[in-house]
Chains A and B, each alone.
Chain A
Amino acid sequence: MFQEIIAFAILGFAVAFLIKKFFLKSKKKKDCGGGTDCGCS
């Protein structure tokens, strides 16, 4: 039972990650392009 809960939770994370990656627009860019702040020393 414990293994099933963890395994299906991982599946949920994987599906959510792919939906976010390919179907939802990212609000913040990860690189420093486009004038976004990325912070540094």
Chain B
Amino acid sequence: MSVQNINVALIGNPNTGKTSVFNQLTGLNQQVGNYPGITVEKKMGFCKLPNNVKANILDLPGTYSLNASSMDESVVIELLLNKNDKLYPDVAVVVTDVENLKRNLLIYTQIKDLEIPTILVINMSDRMARKGISLDIPYLEEKLKTKIALVSSRKGIGIEQLKELIVSYKTIPHEPCLNASVIDPEYFAKLQKAFPNQLMYKLWLVITQDVNFLNLDRNEIRSTFTKSHSELKRLQQKETIKRYQFINDVLKEGLKIDASIAKDIRAKLDRVLTHKVFGYVIFFAILFLIFQSIFSWSTIPMDFIDSTFASLSSWVAEELPSGILTDLLSQGIIPGIGGVIIFIPQIAFLFLFISILEESGYMSRVVFLMDKIMRRFGLSGKSVVPLISGTACAIPAIMATRNIENWKERLITILVTPFTTCSARLPVYAIIISLVIPSKRVFGVLNLQGLTLMSLYVLGFFMAILSAYILNKVLKLQSKTYFVVEMPSYKMPLLKNVGINVVEKTKAFVVGAGKIILAISVILWFLASYGPGKEFNEAETIVKERFANTTLDETQFENEVNSQKLENSYIGLMGRAIEPAIQPLGYDWKIGIALISSFAAREVFVGTLATIYSVGDTDNESTIKSKMQAEVRPDTGKKVFDFATGISLLLFYAFAMQCASTLAITKKETNSWKWPAMQLVFMSGLAYLTALIAYQLLK
């Protein structure tokens, strides 16, 4: 029996659980969140169905209707209007939320009118009893001319029934819900006459949206059937009203809500969490608790990882036959890997908290709460989503700006998002804070290191909105703006979803960043272990001559030789070349090397220092932190990582655009090199200036 391949498109309003349904069908672990805008591009997975059917499941970005107002919504319309697209769906699955059925059905009626076989999924069915909701499924199926799957994607209920319905999609009626000609009978009669073989509703979408389909050009139709922009808008509104009249009639009989059962906890919680004073107090208290916990809870596992890698380096150096490979392993590769692994506990804790906030539905309240503030700075409430996602990585965060309808607000959000403290900054902050900020309690309960970390996160956010304010004044782009945000129900976070998010995000950091760090560590080790000229090749003779009148023991002599070699190695020469530019910031040439190497990615900073200090130190057993702590300036004998240099470095990394991938994604999203170039110059300039001022004031 041959395998039948079909395309299935998952469509629906934002936050109806499309991605959860997608994960249930395909077994994939796409990120799920209880706030809108998680899916901004189409995603595809496979699903084996009964009767030897194999389905390509396409998860499309959430959209409220087929009247696109943002980039991610256009993705849906372009696919549904293009029958030649290889992903054109054989069957559409519209996912709705049982608590927001009325609003969610609008897009269902529109897709049905495109005469694509459409299955209706009513999701979150596990909440029906608690909310006093009852549905007359046979009645709804008859009136909506479809088959309905009552599903709880979070609990995996109804998925098998949905699979059965997808297999038998050919039995689903093709009839539309609304006769498109009711929008304007006279106009549609003319259209029908001119294009007798075309579907009226498709023609209507081609006229009103920015798309072409089949061999029909949008401008060709528009020029023949001219209507003013305001007239088209009026007709779109009329269409929406007609659709809601139809939906109201259907739901009057098909949906019953027993108000006496429905508990009003949501409204009570919302009143507190979005309160104009308490809302902000609670938000900052939550942030504060998160950063306190990150520092307090991760100390033990971090110390354990650090000392394990130090012991491993030492064991390799002692047990393996001496030679270049052993040195590369013990001084380059192992410290490099250690520089990544050590930050797993902190990153995992950060994402644990963020996932819980997303899953519970609280993040949408934060978006709503922040809208008023954000608008004053030229941003949208929706900008909060990228700014918060930016705590993981600026790249997906910049992609998440696609659901901001207004181009100016979107551009500003793209430009300022890299100020948000991403997970790559966390290792830099963590190591510097632990070196220069004492681990003591203030006011009896607050951990000073945790407080400093939180201040850096707040500083990044503050700089993002300040820059947005300046950009809003400078950029002369005019566009209308409005704000619509989904307020999902509060949900108890599912352990599985939280776990998947934490594992995926941590894995992305370790695997993604780890490979780069490891490769750079290897190259750095070679650059630090080889050098040109007499100063490097005759290091031993030079040291002997220099200390001819002093008695040095074997270890002291070895350290002096290593130091002489490192200073005159290729990397040493590079560091020395940039030293004049970075000396006013309090950095020596070794830190300079870390600044250069971490331009590709910030997280390389710690790994670079770990490699450089390992090459220059014969004591393999020391941890990264203790090596940095012991580093002194040869001219003054003072510690390299003192308070002034530490603060200068923290400020530099808070503002500098040390990420090549972010520049690339900005170029991709803005379709111009102008904006990433501006980002680079502005952020690097700001970083240099603030680090300079801080060091000069504090030294």
Q: Per-residue 0/1 for A1-41: is the Cβ within 8 Å of any B Cβ (1 yes, 0 no)?
A: 01110110011011101100110000000001111111111
| Residues from chain A with Cβ under 8 Å of B321 in the complex | 3
Q: A32's contact among B44, B47, B87, B660, by CB below 8 Å, is which?
A: B44
Are B26 and A35 in contact (CB-based, < 8 A)? Answer: no
CA distance A40 to B54 in the complex (A): 12
Are B515 and A41 in contact (CB-based, < 8 A)? Answer: no
Interface flag for B600 (CB, 8 Å)? yes
| Residues from chain A with Cβ under 8 Å of B28 in the complex | 32, 38, 40
Are A22 and B660 in contact (CB-based, < 8 A)? Answer: yes
Are A14 and B523 in contact (CB-based, < 8 A)? Answer: yes
Interface flag for B64 (CB, 8 Å)? no
Q: B323's contact among A3, A22, A35, by CB below 8 Å, is which?
A: A3
CA distance A9 to B325 in the complex (A): 10
Q: Per-residue 0/1 for B45-60: is the Cβ within 8 Å of any A Cβ (1 yes, 0 no)?
A: 1111000000010100
Are A10 and B45 in contact (CB-based, < 8 A)? Answer: no
CA distance A37 to B26 in the complex (A): 12
Are B523 and A41 in contact (CB-based, < 8 A)? Answer: no
Are B324 and A21 in contact (CB-based, < 8 A)? Answer: no
Interface flag for B143 (CB, 8 Å)? no
Are B519 and A38 in contact (CB-based, < 8 A)? Answer: no
Are A7 and B523 in contact (CB-based, < 8 A)? Answer: no
| Residues from chain B with Cβ under 8 Å of A17 in the complex | 515, 519
Are A37 and B44 in contact (CB-based, < 8 A)? Answer: yes
CA distance A4 to B518 in the complex (A): 19
Closest Cβ of chain B to A3, distance in Å, is 4
| Residues from chain B with Cβ under 8 Å of A22 in the complex | 600, 660
| Residues from chain B with Cβ under 8 Å of A18 in the complex | 516, 519-520, 523, 600
Closest Cβ of chain A to B132, distance in Å, is 37
| Residues from chain B with Cβ under 8 Å of A36 in the complex | 44
| Residues from chain A with Cβ under 8 Å of B58 in the complex | 35
CA distance A7 to B240 in the complex (A): 68
Interface flag for B115 (CB, 8 Å)? no
Interface flag for B559 (CB, 8 Å)? no
CA distance A33 to B28 in the complex (A): 13
Interface centre among A4, A18, A35, A37 (most CB of B within 10 A): A35
Are B41 and A15 in contact (CB-based, < 8 A)? Answer: no
Are B516 and A21 in contact (CB-based, < 8 A)? Answer: yes
| Residues from chain A with Cβ under 8 Å of B515 in the complex | 17, 21
Closest Cβ of chain B to A24, distance in Å, is 12
- Contacts A22-B660, A41-B27 hold; do A35 and B44 have CB atoms under 8 A apart? yes
Are A14 and B519 in contact (CB-based, < 8 A)? Answer: yes
Are B325 and A39 in contact (CB-based, < 8 A)? Answer: no
Interface flag for B30 (CB, 8 Å)? yes
- Contacts A7-B325, A32-B43 hold; do A40 and B26 have CB atoms under 8 A apart? yes
Q: B522's contact among A10, A21, A39, A40, by CB below 8 Å, is which?
A: A10
Q: Across the interface, name the chain B residue whose C-beta is closest to A35.
A: B42
| Residues from chain B with Cβ under 8 Å of A14 in the complex | 518-520, 522-523
Closest Cβ of chain A to B536, distance in Å, is 18
CA distance A39 to B523 in the complex (A): 35
Q: Across the interface, name the chain B residue whose C-beta is closest to A25.
A: B664
Are B522 and A33 in contact (CB-based, < 8 A)? Answer: no
| Residues from chain B with Cβ under 8 Å of A38 in the complex | 28, 43-45
Q: B324's contact among A3, A37, A39, A41, by CB below 8 Å, is which?
A: A3
Are A39 and B46 in contact (CB-based, < 8 A)? Answer: yes
Are B42 and A34 in contact (CB-based, < 8 A)? Answer: yes
Closest Cβ of chain A to B323, distance in Å, is 4
Closest Cβ of chain A to B416, distance in Å, is 23
CA distance A41 to B46 in the complex (A): 7
CA distance A24 to B160 in the complex (A): 44
CA distance A38 to B44 in the complex (A): 7
Q: Across the interface, name the chain A residue whose C-beta is closest to B512.
A: A30
Are A6 and B325 in contact (CB-based, < 8 A)? Answer: yes
Closest Cβ of chain A to B505, distance in Å, is 13
CA distance A13 to B519 in the complex (A): 8
| Residues from chain A with Cβ under 8 Å of B48 in the complex | 41
Interface centre among B46, B323, B522 (most CB of A within 10 A): B522
Interface flag for B526 (CB, 8 Å)? yes
| Residues from chain B with Cβ under 8 Å of A7 in the complex | 324-325, 328
Q: B46's contact among A3, A10, A11, A40, by CB below 8 Å, is which?
A: A40
Q: Per-residue 0/1 for B326-343: is the Cβ within 8 Å of any A Cβ (1 yes, 0 no)?
A: 101000010000000000
CB neighbors of A among B512-533 (8 A): 515-516, 518-520, 522-523, 526
Q: Across the interface, name the chain A residue whose C-beta is closest to B529.
A: A7
Interface centre among B333, B399, B516 (most CB of A within 10 A): B516
CA distance A34 to B665 in the complex (A): 14
Are B660 and A35 in contact (CB-based, < 8 A)? Answer: no
- Contacts A14-B519, A18-B523 hold; do A3 and B325 have CB atoms under 8 A apart? yes
| Residues from chain A with Cβ under 8 Å of B326 in the complex | 3
Are A10 and B328 in contact (CB-based, < 8 A)? Answer: yes
CA distance A15 to B526 in the complex (A): 11
CB neighbors of A among B300-324 (8 A): 321, 323-324
Interface centre among B46, B325, B520, B523 (most CB of A within 10 A): B325
Are A15 and B523 in contact (CB-based, < 8 A)? Answer: yes
| Residues from chain A with Cβ under 8 Å of B523 in the complex | 11, 14-15, 18
CA distance A21 to B512 in the complex (A): 11
| Residues from chain B with Cβ under 8 Å of A37 in the complex | 44-46, 56
Closest Cβ of chain B to A11, distance in Å, is 5
| Residues from chain A with Cβ under 8 Å of B526 in the complex | 11
Closest Cβ of chain A to B308, distance in Å, is 22
- Contacts A3-B326, A7-B324 hold; do A33 and B520 have CB atoms under 8 A apart? no
| Residues from chain B with Cβ under 8 Å of A32 in the complex | 28, 30, 43-45
CA distance A37 to B5 in the complex (A): 14
CA distance A17 to B521 in the complex (A): 13
| Residues from chain B with Cβ under 8 Å of A6 in the complex | 325
A-B contact pairs, 21 of them (CB 8 A): A3-B323, A3-B324, A3-B325, A4-B325, A7-B328, A10-B328, A10-B522, A14-B523, A18-B519, A22-B600, A32-B28, A32-B43, A34-B41, A35-B41, A35-B44, A35-B58, A36-B44, A37-B44, A37-B46, A38-B28, A40-B27
Given A11-B523, A32-B45, A34-B42, 4 other A-B residues pairs in contact with their CB atoms under 8 A: A13-B519, A21-B519, A32-B28, A38-B28
